[in-house]
Amino acid sequence: MQFSQIVGQQSVIRDLLHLYQSNKLPHALLFLGKQGWGALPLAIAFAKYVMCEHKNETDSCGQCSSCLQIRKLEHPDLHFSFPSKAPKPNSKKPFGTFHPGFQGIYASSSLWLHL
């Protein structure tokens, strides 16, 4: 997934590009939206852009080794976490419980993305 394939999120993409290009990328970003709004594809496209070896000003190249690994969801610095239990109704923890294996993960590189 690349930014050019994302429909209807141009202002969000513009904001993400501005964060990256102005060297003001925060330590964490939460991509959240209702089902069908494209939060996961947008997060993957942004991860691809950040790790791309030959990006241009508006998108990843889609062809370098990092882009190809991310397309297959095999990049060693790309991690996913999903709630392992659904939250209880009216819970103060709306995202449920995350898999304990994700606590204390450290990658060997200086940058890794946990989606």
- DSSP reduced 3-state for 43: helix
The token pair that represents 35 in the structure block? 């089902």
Q: What is the rounded average pLDDT of the residues 79-102?
A: 63
Dump pLDDT digits (tens) for 98-115.
555 444 444 434 455 555
pLDDT at 97 over 60: no
Dump pLDDT digits (tens) for 38-50.
899 999 999 999 9
pTM tops 0.85? no
Domain that holds residue 92: 3-114
- Residues with Cβ within 8 Å of 80's Cβ and at least 6 positions away in sequence, in order, are 73, 114, 115
In the DSSP assignment, the letter for residue 87 is P
Question: How many distinct structural domains can be found in the chain?
Answer: 1
Q: What is the CATH number of the domain that holds 44?
A: 3.40.50.300
